[in-house]
Chains A and B, each alone.
Chain A
Amino acid sequence: MLVPIFTLKLNHKINPRMVTVGKYDGKHPCLTCATTAGKVFIHNPHTRGERGGRMEGSADTDISLLNINQAVSAVCAGRLDASKPNDILMVGTQTNLLAYDVDNNSDLFYQDTPDGSNAIIVGHLGSIDTPLAVVGGNCSLHGYDYEGNDPFWTVTGDNVCSLAMLDFNGDGVNELIVGSEDFDIRIFKEDEIIAEMTETETITSLCKMMGSRFGYALANGTVGVYDRTARYWRIKSKNQAVTINSFDLDGDGVPELITGWSNGKIDARSDRTGEVVFKDNFTNAVAGIVDADYRLDGQQQLICCSIEGEVRGYKAAPQEMKGNLMDTNVEQETIRELSQRKQNLLLELKNYEENQKAAQSSRPSGLGDLDQGQMGIIPANTQLQTTLQVNHGKEGKAPHVELNVCTTNDTVVRAVLIFAEGIFEGESYVVHPVNVGVSSSLRVPIIPPKDVPVDLHIKAFVGLRNSNQFHVFELTRQLPRFSMYALCGGDVPEPKSSVVFQVNERVQRVLMWINQNFLLQEDLVCPGALDARFMSLRGAGPLCVKMETNGQVTIKTDDMDVAAEVIQSLALFLKIEDLQVTADFPDEMEALRLTLIKVDDFHAVRQKLTAEMADHSNLIRSLVVRAEDARLMGDMKNMKKGYMELFDLNKDLINGYKIRCNNHTELLSCLKQVNQVIQKAGKLRVGKHKTQVVNACRDAIKNNNASSLFKIMRSGAVTS
């Protein structure tokens, strides 16, 4: 059994996912964690240096505290300055990023990050020479070098939750892996997205494994491993995976995926199969897992921290243990497993035997009702039929996709369970009608929240009306990507906005795409030019897909998001690598213009408030001095007056703070909107044009050039 080689009680709470380890003097690794009350602590058991400046130390421990004075949202240590051997500590808060040189006790830089910083990673990205600290915020990614410049800047679909760096495509340089709240994992080769994988929940953690493999964890308790775009394995637990890391614990030369869970469990899983090779338990939730040579004996240790400040270090197992870290008796386990499988087969066999027996005995006389109820006997040729169709909804019932499940005879469907990911609140949806309402058919309303293809794993309990045993019919149906759009006739008004582009394909190919990706009762046919009109069931208005015989495609919809999804899906189907479009979204552009004005306003308000605050603090100083003077002089009347004024001022300050807070959240949501529009504008294009648009928009924003921003979004190219 593998046991920890050291345990520490740090007596400080540790915020989940805010644990890092850095060699701040270039030699000695120090565990660094964010704790409550806007502080970061550094555990340095190796040297006891002098303190001062930001750092305040307690004399009797190895811990020094950094006051950040704001809620910390991310910490990361790494070599930001390639010319020096020591690591720099990066601390992110919702408004700022601090790069701090612990060894010299000085700030490297202190940046405003209005987009917040949810995740930070330090490393070499792509062909950029200097190491960067990449900060993921609300829809944005910034890469800062050691001087605080940001040579890397791009936007992404939603708030960034997790980051990792690894050589994804084997080109010798690192790509950036970004997990975000819209369930997507995106791979950035510098600022170009080279791959996108859709998961089923917010991606809370990412970590580099060996080669092009990386581990991921979702907010719903799933962890797994990808090799490039292919998922190797995944498992789901009822607990939440707080953090993941990779470490070769069994000493076989391949790192395992180490997961820290919310119930305090830690497990190490084989990167190929997901099989658990080691597990241990903390009494509290795990906060972070890092690896470092903490004992300075030349070997890396796996260091796990709990939220209550308990730290355990594990050493990789020696060769003799042969990867058997849990003291299991392999032979006994094998025997148990084999016997279990044997038992299962025997039971299945028994089922068939009994079935035949029942069949024979039923022939002449027929089985009684009681038997039928008991065994849930149904005709062997019972089939389960399923159809998917669009239901426009009616009063009190929102439009939805309807799954109709019915049997082919007088057997009844007692209940239907649908397991599918990402479209229900949990992982399943159940329809269980009241006893008297049970019939041979059942309707299941489905409202997928996003335009993604989903596999529906359907389990239907089929039996007789009074049975207590049911046959379980299992089948899988795919919900096409654009199932929430209903086909309409030609009388639907055309939306104002449109996207126009040219493809080198026949109309029939695009028609095929429509037939595959929309939920249609029968395939569309179209001899000449294509004009298909749909109505969004989510209330986003009509969607028209038109194509002339000369290859000009027009997509009309007022929702830029929908247009972007359609283009991405179509491009994938037609295998188009680069696509430039002309986009005309008057409404969205008008909204963007208003947002930009609002952003300016908020900035102005912020400046004004900051100035006010400075004024107030000056006033406070003088008031305190005056009141204290009065007290010393024994002039109680004036002292009272002074303190009364101070009290009022304090109230004003608090009010001002509240306004500033509101202002800030508003600003944040506006900035997010801007970032999202840029992202959408990018997604209207494919390949290099996509990157171009994003970069050009970014420049326009930087130069505060709104009119050119609109032009870029429209034409997709930088105009002189």
Chain B
Amino acid sequence: MMELNLSRVDYLQVGITSPKSLKLLPPAGKKDPTQKVVVADHNGVLQCFSLKKGEPNHVFKTLPGNKMVRVELGGPLGQVREKIFVATGPEVKGFNKKGKQFLGFDTNMSESILAMHVEGADLFVSGNYIYNHYKDCKDTNYYLCQDKVNDIIVLPVERIPEIMPVLACQDRVLRVLQDSDILYEVETPGPPSTLCMYAGTGGDEGNEILYGTSDGRIGLVEIGRTMASPRRRLAPSHRWELPNEKRNGGVLCLDNYDMTADGILDLVVGRDDGLVEIYGYDEADEPILRHTTTCSESVTSVQGGRVANGTFDEVVCTTYAGWVIGLTTHTMTEKATGPGGARVVDRDVQAKIIHLRQEMEALQQKVIQEREKYQVTAQHKNAISAVPQFNINDKFVLNKEDASYTLSLEVQMAIDNVLIQSDVPVDLLDVDKNSAVVSFSACNPEEGNYLLATYRCQANTTRLEIKVRSIEGQYGTLQAYTTPRLQPKTCVVKQYPIKPLSLHQRTHVFDENRPNCSLKLMGNFSLAEIHSWVTFCLPELPERTPAGDTAVFHFVSTFLDTQLMCQYKKGEGLFKSDNISTISILKDVLTKEATKKKIRLDISYDINEESVAHLLNLIHPKLEYQLVLAKKVQIIDALKELQVHESDTSFLSAEYQQILQDAEKLQEEYKKQPCCLERLYGMITDLFIDKFKFKGQNVKSKVPLLIEHLDNYDLGQLIQFFNASG
């Protein structure tokens, strides 16, 4: 297999960029294979440049304006796509490749455009929840989505004449539309954040779509099309899915480009933790990782092409802070060392450095002046100090794998320090990626602080990732105060709610056959009111009150795999779960919320005794695995010592020999899931207390007995203990 070696070259820096706001224009002609770069930023500047000897050479650059969030290329059907479309606020602007504006179209949408797709004379845009289709700038189709739309793509019209837009929605589905109606939904393993046609064209039939999710997965799905026959083939088929085992960042952008020069388009992936990955395909068309580069900032766009040089392939990326970077197959270091080992500094590069230095000095002078002016104004009585708020690119997502939250914070400047404060007990876990020095401060719960931690960042850190483990039933707010290294120093606080059922995740299935317990609420409340209460309890719900009379949402616990169904309408709410603790938490919180609004609730519940045994059975494999693992890890050292003493270990039992053989794997596994056992114990204890709480009994005094049972674990005995107590 060919080794792929890419060197990083920085082209220039623009303002903050949104995902997919960089495109490469098709090459101008056969003679000149180099491509021009089009990039738009939050300052509202759209610029197009080519590279001459590594220096950006601007073709055009618009004046600053409203922030631009998306760039798409379009053109008449069947011809080169070289018209540039930019989404800014509710408007779509069109520019030709010379920078002349030929279109200024106000969609009059009530939301700002967040995603856009252009296909011939058809324009598809979406805001937070709204999808709109314009043909020749005339409103033709409209759809209101149940959850946030992250991206939009349309199957190539040349090959599939019936227009089929696909919306990537936050509630873990791809919604396939036809006209103004939903055709069907495709479930994805995580919230899809970006879409891309497979191999640029959508594969053989033009109906294969690549998606990337915000929890770092990538998948290929084939969109089944409507058939003329009465038996319509609508089922999507999942071709492959890449799990996120290494817990890399969420996917922000995808592209197809043949970087390995083997005639097959490779998959280029940009992630929000700064990784750029290149996947090739094997014989079975399954992706295999060929290359990774770390950029240390969120990679918002990736595009394969030839920009700096007509002969070398490269991936052009933008980062959140606005860097336009080339990852080129052109090796830079070889060039830098000339004959005789002496270092020949590229003259162009040197000129660039000198130029930069001069610019810097001039700037520095100006800044010093301004700084003094600022100091002087401080003497005035009526003067104010107003520093514009800097943007924070933040994300707070639940990881399915280890049932913990990842908080990532990214700003345009280097971060000086971050203060994390929480008014609920949460654990902060160490993340290998971040190099910041963490310090936990003593805190007093009476002052509303269960956690006070400072992260002092190393120089040039613009992104910080923190892992947080929450406990279901304990809810409140986590706050992050971010201070960048920029004068005058300011900090911005961001709040993240830790919800009562924080470890639950949206899903679209519910198994009625499980022994479910149910909770029924009746009272004088509106749909909006109960929706706001449920949103308060559970993550991943849209803030907007769902359309229609009845709302139904399904959830699964990432830690225990128990399920939850919420079904509510005006005056009535029904919640079903196979976990008594979930029902108990819901009951407590909903009652509290309703009391706050002075609404009287009639609560009835139906506790299924079987659910306890069911849940313990569900936990059993996990608990047993953890117990065995802990036991094995405990004796590894002793066995190793034996191994040192004895030249031959064949006298050991097969089990011990196996442990010795797998020692490293076991230890790694053990390290991966710290406190897993404690968490399981906690869940079982909660279940125990909650079960009897519904019976009106307080069994807190029996908890030590329960722990004793857990320490000498046996499933049968445990179930018996649950049944016998009380």
Contact = CB atoms under 8 A, between A and B. Distances in A.
A and B pair up: yes
Nearest to A418: B441
Nearest to A474: B489
B367 interface: yes
Nearest to A238: B437
A354 B413 contact: no
Contacts of A59: 647
A456 to B, nearest CB: 14
A468 B492 CA distance: 6
B486 A348 contact: yes
A341 B386 CA distance: 23
Contact of B491 (A367, A434, A435, A472): A472
Interface in B381-398: 381-389
Contacts of B486: 344, 347-348, 351
Nearest to A374: B389
A492 B364 CA distance: 59
Interface string B90-105: 0000000000000000
Q: Name, among A346, A362, A468, the residue most crowded by chain B CB atoms within 10 Å (CB to CB).
A: A468
Interface stretch (B2-10, B150-158, B245-253): B2-10
Contact of B380 (A221, A380, A425, A432): A380
A375 B388 contact: yes
B289 interface: no
Nearest to A322: B343
A427 B345 CA distance: 43
A424 B356 contact: no
B432 A263 contact: yes
A51 B389 CA distance: 74
A359 B388 CA distance: 12
A358 B386 contact: yes
A470 B489 CA distance: 9
Contacts of B332: 329, 332
A417 B419 contact: yes
Nearest to B452: A430
A415 interface: yes
A428 B454 contact: yes
A701 interface: no
Contacts of B389: 374-376, 468-469
B580 to A, nearest CB: 33
A429 B438 CA distance: 12
B387 A332 contact: no
B644 A36 contact: yes
Contact of B440 (A340, A425, A473): A425
Contacts of A339: 10, 12-13, 356
B439 A354 contact: no
Interface string B477-501: 0000101011111111110000000
Contacts of B584: none
Given A347-B412, A359-B377, A331 B371 contact: no
B437 A237 contact: yes
A459 B641 contact: no
Contacts of B641: 36-37
A379 B383 contact: yes
Given A58-B647, A221-B437, A358 B384 contact: yes
Contact of A469 (B363, B367, B377, B490): B490
B383 to A, nearest CB: 4
Interface residues of A, number: 79
A461 interface: yes
Contacts of A26: none
Given A355-B387, A374-B389, A379-B384, A348 B350 contact: no
Main secondary structure of the interface of B (DSSP, over half): mixed
A295 interface: no
A330 B349 CA distance: 11
Interface stretch (B169-177, B399-407, B442-450): B442-450
Interface in A355-403: 355, 358-359, 362, 367, 374-382
Nearest to B387: A351
Interface in B464-519: 481, 483, 485-494
Interface in A2-17: 12-13
A381 B436 CA distance: 34
Interface string B343-370: 1011001101100110110011011001
Given A345-B367, A424-B441, A434 B447 contact: yes
Interface in A307-329: 320, 322, 327, 329
Interface residues of B, number: 87
Contact of A338 (B353, B383, B442): B353
B437 A352 contact: no
Interface string B604-615: 000000000000
A39 interface: yes
A53 interface: no
A437 interface: yes
A342 B356 contact: yes
B10 A381 contact: no
Contacts of B373: 352
B386 A375 contact: yes
A331 B10 contact: no
A343 interface: yes
Contacts of B597: none
Contacts of A459: 417, 483
B387 A238 contact: no
B456 interface: yes
Contacts of B421: 415, 430, 432
Given A377-B385, A382-B385, A329 B481 contact: no
Given A342-B359, A425-B440, A426-B441, A348 B386 contact: no
Nearest to A436: B448
Nearest to B488: A351
A344 B380 CA distance: 27
A216 B92 CA distance: 61
A374 to B, nearest CB: 6
Contact of A359 (B9, B384, B647): B384
Nearest to A461: B491
Contacts of B647: 58-59
Contact of A335 (B343, B356, B374, B438): B356
B9 to A, nearest CB: 6
A472 B482 CA distance: 10
A334 B353 contact: yes
B137 interface: no
Contact of B435 (A238, A352, A377, A382): A238
A35 B640 CA distance: 11
A432 B449 contact: yes
A345 B363 contact: yes
Given A335-B352, A354-B386, A474-B489, A428 B441 contact: yes
Contact of A351 (B8, B434, B487, B494): B487
A313 B10 CA distance: 35
B635 interface: no
Contacts of B121: none
13 contacts: A36-B637, A59-B647, A237-B437, A322-B343, A342-B356, A343-B321, A345-B363, A348-B487, A349-B366, A432-B449, A468-B492, A469-B492, A472-B490
Given A355-B374, A381-B379, A461-B481, 17 more contacts: A59-B647, A236-B437, A238-B430, A332-B10, A332-B349, A335-B10, A339-B356, A340-B460, A354-B386, A380-B380, A415-B481, A426-B454, A427-B456, A430-B452, A469-B490, A471-B488, A472-B489
The 3 lowest CB-CB distance pairs between A and B, nearest first, are A426-B439, A358-B386, A380-B383
Interface of B: 7-10, 12-13, 321, 332-333, 336, 341, 343, 345-346, 349-350, 352-353, 356-357, 359-360, 363-364, 366-367, 370-371, 373-374, 377-389, 412-414, 417, 419, 421, 430, 432, 434-443, 447-449, 452-454, 456, 460, 481, 483, 485-494, 637, 640-641, 644-645, 647
Interface of A: 12-13, 35-37, 39, 58-59, 65, 221, 236-238, 263, 320, 322, 327, 329-332, 334-336, 338-352, 354-355, 358-359, 362, 367, 374-382, 414-415, 417, 419, 424-430, 432-435, 437, 459, 461, 468-474
